[in-house]
Chain A
Amino acid sequence: MSSIKSIVDIPTVNKIARLARLEILEKNKQNLTNDLNNILEFVAQLNEVDTSNVEPLASVTGHKLPLRNDEVTDGNIGELVLQNAPETSSGFFVVPKVIE
């Protein structure tokens, strides 16, 4: 287990914002950097806990993920699927051109 020790700087904020596809205004970057560092410093206290023989817990339900038969349970609702889309055409979602 590697220890939690990292400092976020503005280039890191740029990188994370890019991964999250999130525009961060230039004027907000320093404050956000400070906030992230404070939060990361706060959560670093987890380093005090010995977890060498502990399995990670992803779900508290205790039950196995249920399976169902692979059958169509709805369909023919194209109009409903598109109803809230910002832009559609001929039954499709429209996005900016992606082919160079």
Chain B
Amino acid sequence: MSDFLKLDLLGASIALKNKEISSVELTNAYINAIEKTSSLGAYLDVQADYALEMANRSDKKIQQGTAGPLEGIPIGVKDMFCTKNIKTTASSKILENFYPTYESTVTQNLWNDGAVMLGKLSCDEFAMGSSNETAAKGNVINPWSKTNPMSPGGSSGGSAAAVAARSALAATGTDTGGSIRQPAAFCGITGLKPTYGRCSRWGIVAFSSSLDQAGPLTRTVSDAALMLNSMAGYDVKDSTSANISMPDLMTYLDNSIKGKKIGIPKEYTQDGISQDIMKFYESSINWLKDSGAEIVPVSLPHTKYALPVYYIIAPAEASSNLARYDGVRYGARNEAATLDEMYELTRGNGFGDEVKRRIMIGTYVLSSGYYDAYYLKAQKVRRLIKEDFENVFKNVDYLLTPSTPTTAFELGQKQDPLTMYLNDIFTVPASLAGVPGISIPVGLDSSGLPVGVQLIANSFDEPGLINVARTLEKCADFNLIPDGAAK
């Protein structure tokens, strides 16, 4: 493997600042890695020339001593983030020729801090999916695949596959019900969903606005801290953005967790969870205990209702958000004699099956006669789920859970929508409550596929979350690279 690819984000940023390497060298190494791993299908669009231009500028800034915290670091961007004059499709046919005239706040924050953009990464269509198979341009392959191609998870499947395959030093993702944490677990990397409101949603293609949150996918917890330091921040252009400053996460990484209380929720060890995952979950509990944390059994009694709540609220919000794709202002259009026919043909032709299913469910639960029974009911149970977290965080500092019920599955294996939805069973509750969660890799199962565990913190406690995650990461010492990674 190229020595450049061996450096993680933190290591690369130190080497850049010490002028041991240049950003152009580093970026070229990643452009080569993208070519070598192109069969994985992680990238929808590679911006090699643009990346080298940015890298050149970064090298000048480093020479001039005006480098930002991410100066010269080549990263990939999930195709849900609008990038100015660079095609942004949300992996949908309906946006196949959409060139935003503005830049999302989160990506702008990253460029302001010196990051270099390698290109746009595949995801499930409009981030609706848990396997990256709903992408209009086809699935992404997990670099950990053995004989048969495996799913990288979703919806940030391209982001997770690229980071695991060493074809991006880090990537942005979005997480509505687990879309950062689940693919991170499947690909053996770190994925952090911040508190709702931490990162601006402005310029991110909207899926479910009360749940959508941007976050980083990285090789290590330190790298996630560095990325989130730059991505987060109050933004007047997003009315749900939190005007609460986040301290420098890097200063919390190596604090002791002695005396911290870690809750083990009994509802997260249900039937159907793989034995290998249970084994590593139990090891993780012991590692935290050995690091001085106090382990406390807890209960979040409404956990089992999280998925049903999610599959009412998310499609309802999606059906409303996706009404904008009408063939008039942007996106594809199918010509027809009347306006209504034009809408119907454009949307019928432009959206994939899963997106259509969710628009239909969302429209149904919001329609006259069903609104109270479904949508309002779900909003009420959502409050009970949020209260579960509020109650539990009166007694413990963090929660430790498995990230997923199983490790990565084969592409094409889960055809039934409901079976697919069950992937998000451990990640959806934190999304509904708006609290931050992180998945970190802790080992390989008996088939050689990565296992992740999830830590959850109270709202706006990303510093503590990073601290415990870093502690667990040190204990697990997971540093394996998949066979499908760039050499």
Q: Distance in Å from the Cβ of A21 to the closest Cβ of chain B?
A: 4
Q: Distance in Å from the Cβ of B308 to the closest Cβ of chain A?
A: 4
Using A36-B361, A65-B239 as known contacts, list a sample of 16 further A-B pairs with CB atoms less than 8 Å apart, ordered by residue number in A: A1-B372, A4-B377, A6-B370, A23-B348, A25-B348, A32-B357, A36-B360, A38-B418, A39-B311, A43-B311, A46-B377, A49-B380, A51-B377, A54-B380, A56-B379, A57-B379
Are B196 and A39 in touch, CB under 8 angstroms? no
In the assembled complex, which residues on chain A have CB atoms less than 8 Å from the CB atom of B305?
A: 45-46, 48-49
Closest 6 CB pairs of A and B: A23-B348, A60-B434, A56-B379, A84-B330, A86-B333, A57-B383
Are B342 and A2 in touch, CB under 8 angstroms? no
Q: Which of A1, A36, A57 has the most CB of B within 10 A?
A: A57
Instruction: Give the secondary structure class of A's interface.
Output: loop
A38-B418, A39-B417, A42-B418 known; A1+B236 contact, CB < 8 A? no
Are A60 and B329 in touch, CB under 8 angstroms? no
**C-alpha spacing A17/B353, complex, angstroms:** 13
Are A22 and B240 in touch, CB under 8 angstroms? no
A65-B239, A96-B342 known; A60+B386 contact, CB < 8 A? yes
A interface, size bucket: 35 or more
**C-alpha spacing A48/B302, complex, angstroms:** 11
Q: Distance in Å from the Cβ of B393 to the closest Cβ of chain A?
A: 14
In the assembled complex, which residues on chain A have CB atoms less than 8 Å from the CB atom of B380?
A: 49, 51, 54-57
A58-B379, A66-B239 known; A1+B339 contact, CB < 8 A? no
A residues 17-53 near B (Cβ < 8 Å) are 17, 19-25, 28, 32, 35-36, 38-40, 42-49, 51
A interface residues with partner B (beta carbon < 8 Å): 1-4, 6, 8, 12-13, 16-17, 19-25, 28, 32, 35-36, 38-40, 42-49, 51, 54-63, 65-66, 68, 77, 80-81, 83-87, 93, 95-98
Considering the complex, give the chain B residue whose CB is closest to the CB of A87. B333
**C-alpha spacing A25/B352, complex, angstroms:** 12
Number of interface residues of B (CB under 8 A): 76
Q: Distance in Å from the Cβ of A56 to the closest Cβ of chain B?
A: 3
- 22 pairs of residues in contact across A and B, judged by CB atoms under 8 Å: A4-B374, A12-B364, A20-B359, A21-B340, A22-B356, A23-B344, A23-B349, A32-B356, A36-B361, A39-B311, A42-B418, A42-B421, A43-B309, A45-B308, A46-B377, A49-B380, A51-B381, A58-B379, A63-B242, A86-B331, A93-B329, A95-B342
**C-alpha spacing A32/B356, complex, angstroms:** 9
Considering the complex, give the chain A residue whose CB is closest to the CB of B211. A60
Q: Distance in Å from the Cβ of A35 to the closest Cβ of chain B?
A: 6
Are B434 and A83 in touch, CB under 8 angstroms? no
Q: B46 an interface residue at 8 Å Cβ cutoff? A: no
Are A85 and B330 in touch, CB under 8 angstroms? yes
**C-alpha spacing A53/B215, complex, angstroms:** 35
Are A54 and B384 in touch, CB under 8 angstroms? yes
> Interface readout for B339-375 with A: 1 if CB under 8 Å, 0 if not?
1111111011101010011011101100100101110
**C-alpha spacing A20/B359, complex, angstroms:** 7
Q: B231 an interface residue at 8 Å Cβ cutoff? A: no
In the assembled complex, which residues on chain A have CB atoms less than 8 Å from the CB atom of B98?
A: 84
